[in-house]
Chain A
């Protein structure tokens, strides 16, 4: 069944999009860039990172592009001084929340958080660092989980539950104490449901999940493997 076409404006440009699409999907389909961190093609959007917030004319509130469905006649602004300021704060807060030390990170140079910070021109942060004491889980034979680098985007959780069907990962605790855990807070190496497929590692935007055996800057994620899988399985992107 052919989708109904809707007309919307993104940054003033008239765009024809399909009913049921989110603002992010419509923008992407028309070559418009909206920054994202937690969104990943093929996974259920959760609206957690808030860097994809956009303005909609006539409404004072901000809307996450990844979860907001388009409406006919909607006029979306993807960039404004306010949005830039807020996105910058979001990224800064992620940088101070845990211990992101690029110089010693396997993902240095291939990190979505790092490249977003670079794109926003963040070379210093306004807020004091939290410097929490966090652990590493190296119990898995092939992979490693480093909480210091995790931004809680839950891409690993969703890719494992929705594509692999294993649901090894989930979130535990609340607020600032929230952590990614495997199974019921088992060591990853002891998680019997893990198939060691590595999708979570590929989906992870930072160096929080990485393959063992790589040195600084050497861990290059291949997001394509995840999205290709989605296409192959016929999941709507």
Chain B
């Protein structure tokens, strides 16, 4: 190919390229970036090329780069002549035959289709593919691409990166041609300045100003450098840009060289990016061949060439002075600035360094003008930025967004939020130099200034999303470990300071941290930030400073409670299940004991960890299930059912008495201290059990006629038979706990009275008030708050609900109400204002309700209840909702529409959430939080009043049984420690020897679940629905445990 020297030759090449891009025959392309290859794109490419060869059909096959949707890799695009370009996703090699057949037949395989492109604006040129396929969504209609704007990634995934002709076809090198013909470098600099393009490497310095410095520098020669030393963990936009579209970089650099007067350019790229190196080398060769590099570029007399240097992978070499040192053959250690590279750079000569992405913006700015560029982005930061959105979101990949877009848009609209059952907690921007931004600040627009204000940086564009499984202390530790090992060692703050930081963070994650460590960390981080020589050290403490600022409570959990809620810090947890259990039951121990056939020992282990094992075995929300590592193999171990089985085996047998004696034997000597527990719900019962075991004299007060709280009065019989609960409460009573029932504290017994008579008081009255929504018609006969309804039924009262019941809400109370109504022979319709997947109710319960015949209407909120002349309910009107933006809970907020529907019904049950009885809380004189819950020290549960402790729903707002019990346990331990001025807790628990060997190579096995009565049968009675495991099933289930608690493994 002769070098292009005039416009005629240029246009000829352009035509040739267009013919390749939109040929008269079908064209198939395979996304062959590193991401695509990692997912098997090469195999697909080979399968296609073999298939085409074998069949002899006329199909053009080409490799392209990556289109950005990493979660859908490998991507293949198909274009039939005159038709849109259709992108297929998750294509496998064995799909190739079918796709080829379809292409020949002129069809598409519907199951693989992702989106279509009818026309594409390459900014420097425009390609029309054709119209058609009305059923296929356009690329900018799918959520991942919807709000994206592709400037930098304009050619990525569409053109063949190995073919300069295709690049020229879409308007490539036109900007260069224009600049060379105009021959006025200063206007280009003015243009870049007016575009307010800021360096995309992270610091955000104005590119136009930087160019001006070099253009004005006197010394010769001058150098320009492209910094492609992308080293942040989780960031890969530069790699993809070079792999997918190397010529845009070359063109940007030639334009830069021309306007700044440089004759030599260098691309410093990581050696860990072999494909990028390969493609860039090839592109440089082609550019030389076609006359874009070398002497007399495009016949305009300008001389310039580019050399490629592979960096050895030191993170610090991304710092410009270290990069220059590395280019000069020295160790990559930064030098002090001034002198700046524009004064004294490579070989002491004036040098300009820009990041890869900065160079990609040049050609569009030249072609479309500064005014066009500033249309996008925020006033101070124009244009777009490419981010690699990774971590705990559904959709991951490269995302190019206008600067100033809110984090919410990134995470919820593009990323579509957290994976199932999880909640996004934070996002980390800017890699190891950036910081963690908490969920409640997701409205922040992403630009240089705003991120800096939150203590983070934009950096090169890494965006790592974290959910509740990420421990923020560990995140800080991880990044410090990274920067610590990448520190060059030149200056003291970075070399020794980061080392010290890391050592302290290690102590904290090991559970050996102190509060003084937090002060040290804070001071050390500020010192490193302010005193370090280069950008690496100056930004390295950001992860620590931001986590200390936004997630201090997690540090405190590690230090004061020795807990890592996320379950990441291994030393702080026995196993993931134990860590997730609010009662911190030693689950592996009871499974192992049962597996060994030691039922009594297993029971003792269970009961000493959890005084209501039969009840919780039935109704616990079982967070352990979601953490079980067995999930990665097949399904999680059904721990809840096993401890239910163990407990039932004792409670329902003649071993009961012997076990009561065994538990009594653990009781410590009487202390003579008197403790009152207010509220006989799960929290109160648990606290009473432990306090009694610790030797205290415990009296439990409750306003109801029976102990058990919500377990007794809100949970229906078919879920938790009252006889089971009674047996457990009997055991607690046998420990010496006294119950004073039918007594309301605050009215029947004043708090001051308790204060006088007891050494300590634990308040756990729960949330017994329905958060009532006053709507037209709620005063009618037949409208019930769910709790009152359930309570009345549980107490055996006759509640008339008629034949059709409408239930409002999506929580457990709503489902319980629906199933209870069904058992009373009524029809039940549940109205919920969000979608099924947003329901807070336990999934199994919702399924069971559905089986039993409950109807569900989603996206429906109550509008008004209508009555008849007698003041009885006759119908309910609901307003349909639609889902709007994401709210603080990470779910889409329902917004009312105009559509109103009417349902005839005889009663309405509102189950929209419970709150604390404010009258009691106010009267207690304790300091309250805004939502009316009692304020406590979250570690000791002490309230603002001496001697008074509080826990459970009263502190958290409505939650669940095991959560409340966890508070009871925590309260007992703290009350005892405070009263006895000693740590006596461990004395309650016997040392039990049990097997500490890992199971043999586990083979996949099925999770056992309890037997369920048939829906048609169970709905006719109050009989318990789930009958529990058989002995064999429980044994099998215990054997499925992988024993994450066994840390030391003997390898023989």
- Taking CB atoms and an 8 Å cut-off, the chain A residues in 48-68 that contact chain B are 48-50, 53, 61-62, 64, 67-68
Q: Which of B484, B531, B533 contacts A90 (CB 8 A)?
A: B531
Nearest-neighbour CB distance to chain B for A171, whole angstroms, equals 7
Instruction: Tell me if B307 counts as interface (CB < 8 A to partner A).
Output: no
Residue of A nearest to B333 (CB): A171
Cβ of B331 within 8 Å of any chain A Cβ, yes or no, is yes
Cα distance, A49 to B490, chains bound together (Å): 8
Nearest chain B CB to A54 CB, angstrom units? 12
- Indicate if A178 sits at the interface (CB-CB under 8 A): yes
* A90 close to B498 (CB less than 8 A): no
State in angstroms the CA–CA spacing of A61 and B336 once bound together. Answer: 14
A69 to chain B: closest CB distance in Å? 6
| Nearest A-chain residue to B330, judged by Cβ | A170
The yes or no answer to B518 lying at the interface (CB within 8 A) is: no
Say how far B372's CB is from chain A's closest CB, in angstroms. Answer: 36
Q: How far is the CA of A12 from the CA of B494 in the complex (A)?
A: 31
- Contact, CB under 8 Å: B489 / A152: yes
B495 with A175: CB separation less than 8 A: yes
Would you call B500 and A96 a contact (CB within 8 A)? Answer: yes
B488 contact set on A, CB distance < 8 A: 174-175, 178
**Would you call B336 and A47 a contact (CB within 8 A)?**
yes
C-alpha gap A90/B527 in the complex (Å): 9
In the complex the two chains form, is A90's CB within 8 Å of B336's CB?
no
* B533 to A, closest residue via Cβ: A47
Determine if B499 is an interface residue (Cβ-Cβ < 8 Å).
yes
Asked if A47 and B491 sit within 8 Å, CB to CB, the answer is: yes
B486-505 contact mask (Cβ, 8 Å, vs A): 1 or 0 = 11111111111111100100
Complex interface: chain B residues within 8 A of A177 (CB): 489
> B496 near A96 (CB under 8 angstroms)?
yes
- Of the candidate stretches A124-132, A182-190, A196-204, A211-219, the one touching chain B is A124-132
Known: A46-B336, A50-B491, A176-B489. A93 touches B531 (CB 8 A): no
- Choose among A86, A126, A171 the residue that contacts B489 (Cβ–Cβ < 8 A): A171
Q: Are A49 and B500 in contact (CB under 8 A)?
A: no
Is B131 in contact with chain A by the CB < 8 A criterion?
no
> Chain B 532-561 against A: per-residue CB contact (8 Å), 1 yes, 0 no?
110000000000000000000000000000
Complex partner residue of B533 from A48, A128, A174, A178, CB under 8 angstroms: A48
| Interface residue A123 (Cβ < 8 Å from any Cβ of B) | no
The answer to whether B527 touches A89, judged by C-beta atoms less than 8 angstroms apart, is: yes
Give complex CA distance A170, B325 in Å: 14
Does A48 contact B491, Cβ atoms closer than 8 Å? yes
The listed residue (B331, B530, B533) touching A86 by CB distance below 8 A is B530
Tell me the complex Cα distance, A10–B950, Å.
Answer: 60
- Distance of A152 Cα from B496 Cα, bound (Å): 11
**Cβ of A18 < 8 Å from any Cβ of B?**
no
Give A154's nearest chain B residue, CB to CB: B490
The answer to whether A90 touches B530, judged by C-beta atoms less than 8 angstroms apart, is no
| Any B CB within 8 A of the CB of A135 | no
Q: How far is the CA of A178 from the CA of B523 in the complex (A)?
A: 24
Kindly state whether residue A173 has any CB partner on chain B within 8 Å.
yes
Q: Which residues on B sit within 8 Å (CB–CB) of A170?
A: 331
Interface check B338, CB cutoff 8 A: yes
Is B895 part of the binding interface, using a Cβ–Cβ cutoff of 8 Å? no
The answer to whether A93 touches B530, judged by C-beta atoms less than 8 angstroms apart, is: no
C-alpha spacing A61/B520, complex, angstroms: 22
A148 to B495, CA, bound (A): 16
Asked if A48 and B490 make an inter-chain contact with CB atoms under 8 angstroms apart, the answer reads: yes
Q: Does B314 contact A (CB under 8 A)?
A: yes
Chain B nearest CB from A34 CB (Å) reads 15
A67 touches B336 (CB 8 A): yes
- Residue on B with the closest CB to A50? B531
Q: A48-B533, A50-B533 are in contact. Are A174 and B496 (CB under 8 A)?
A: no
* Interface hits, A31-56 → B, CB 8 Å: 45-50, 53
CA of A48 to CA of B335, assembled, Å: 9
Contact of A94 with B by CB under 8 A: yes
Bound Cα distance from A128 to B335, whole angstroms: 30
Closest to A89 in B: B527
With A46-B490, A50-B491 as contacts: A175 and B531 at CB distance below 8 Å: no
Residue of A nearest to B492 (CB): A90
Contacts of B331 in A (CB 8 A): 170-171
Q: Are A89 and B498 in contact (CB under 8 A)?
A: no
Whether A62 contacts B531 in the complex (CB less than 8 A), given A96-B500, A127-B520, A176-B484, comes out as: yes
Chain A residues closer than 8 Å to B531, beta-carbon distance: 50, 53, 62, 86, 90
Given the known inter-chain contacts A86-B527, A93-B497, please indicate yes or no for A175 contacting B492, CB distance below 8 A: no
- Separation in Å of the A10 CB from the closest CB of chain B? 19
How long is the Cα–Cα vector from A40 to B503 in the complex, in angstroms? Answer: 33
- The answer to the question of B12 belonging to the interface, with a C-beta cut-off of 8 Å to chain A, is no
Q: List which B995-1012 residues lie within 8 A (CB) of chain A.
A: none
**Complex contacts, A175 vs chain B, CB 8 Å:** 484-489, 494-495, 498-499
How far apart are B461's CB and chain A's nearest CB, in angstroms? 25
Contact with A along B161-191 (1 / 0, CB 8 A): 0000000000000000000000000000000
Residues from chain B with a CB closer than 8 A to the CB of A89 are 493, 497, 523-524, 527
Chain B: CB-nearest residue to A97: B496
- Residues on the B chain within 8 Å of A174, using CB: 314, 316, 485-489
Verify A93–B336 contact, CB threshold 8 A: no
Q: Which residues of A contact B498 (CB under 8 A)?
A: 175-176
With the chains together, A50 CA to B79 CA distance in Å?
61
Q: Which residue of B lies closest to A170 (CB)?
A: B331
A45 touches B500 (CB 8 A): no
Decide: B338 and A176 in contact? CB cutoff 8 A.
no
Tell me, rounded to whole Å, the shortest Cβ–Cβ distance linking B912 to chain A.
51
Chain A residue with minimal CB distance to B519?
A: A126
Cα–Cα distance between A68 and B337 once the two chains are bound (Å)? 8
Interface centre among A69, A93, A152, A173 (most CB of B within 10 A): A93
Closest residue on chain A to residue B485 by CB atoms: A175
> A126 near B520 (CB under 8 angstroms)?
yes
- Chain A nearest CB from B805 CB (Å) reads 66
B412 to chain A minimum Cβ distance, whole angstroms, is 35
Residues of A within 8 A of B503 (CB): 128, 130
Assembled-state Cα–Cα distance A14/B674 (Å): 75
Closest B residue to A130 using CB positions: B499
Question: How many Å from the CB of B220 to the closest CB on chain A?
Answer: 22
CA distance A89 to B522 in the complex (A): 13
Q: Which residues of A contact B484 (CB under 8 A)?
A: 175-176
| Residues on the A chain within 8 Å of B495, using CB | 97, 152, 175-176, 178
Indicate with 1 or 0, residue by residue over B34-78, a CB within 8 angstroms of chain A CB atoms.
Answer: 000000000000000000000000000000000000000000000
Q: Which residues of B contact A130 (CB under 8 A)?
A: 499, 503
- B523 CB to closest chain A CB, in angstroms? 8
User: In the assembled complex, which residues on chain B have CB atoms less than 8 Å from the CB atom of A69?
Assistant: 338
Asked if B500 and A93 make an inter-chain contact with CB atoms under 8 angstroms apart, the answer reads yes
Separation of A45 and B1 alpha carbons in the complex (Å): 53
> Which residues of B, 332-364, contact A by the 8 Å Cβ criterion?
333, 335-336, 338
Taken residue by residue from 117 to 147, chain A's Cβ proximity to chain B (1 for < 8 Å, 0 otherwise) reads as 0000000001110100000000000000000
Nearest residue in B to A177 (C-beta to C-beta)? B489
Q: Which one of B336, B486, B492 contacts A45 once the chains associate, using CB atoms below 8 Å?
A: B336
How far apart sit A50 and B497, CA to CA, in the bound complex (Å)?
12
Interface centre among B338, B486, B493, B495 (most CB of A within 10 A): B495
Instruction: Name the A residues within 8 Å of B520 (CB-CB).
Output: 126-127
Instruction: Report the minimum CB–CB distance from B247 to chain A (whole Å).
Output: 35
A175 to B537, CA, bound (A): 11
Q: How far is the CA of A141 from the CA of B491 in the complex (A)?
A: 32
Contact B500 A127 (CB under 8 A): yes
9 tightest A-B contacts by CB?
A: A178-B489, A175-B487, A47-B336, A93-B496, A67-B336, A176-B499, A97-B496, A50-B531, A175-B489
- Beyond A45-B336, A93-B496, A97-B495, 11 additional contacts (C-beta under 8 Å) are A46-B336, A47-B533, A89-B493, A90-B531, A93-B492, A152-B489, A171-B331, A174-B488, A175-B489, A175-B494, A176-B487
In the assembled complex, 7 residue pairs joining A and B whose CB atoms fall closer than 8 Å, in A order, are A46-B336, A48-B491, A67-B336, A69-B338, A89-B523, A127-B524, A176-B489
Q: Give B contacts to A, CB under 8 Å.
A: 314, 316, 331, 333, 335-336, 338, 484-500, 503, 520, 523-524, 527, 530-533
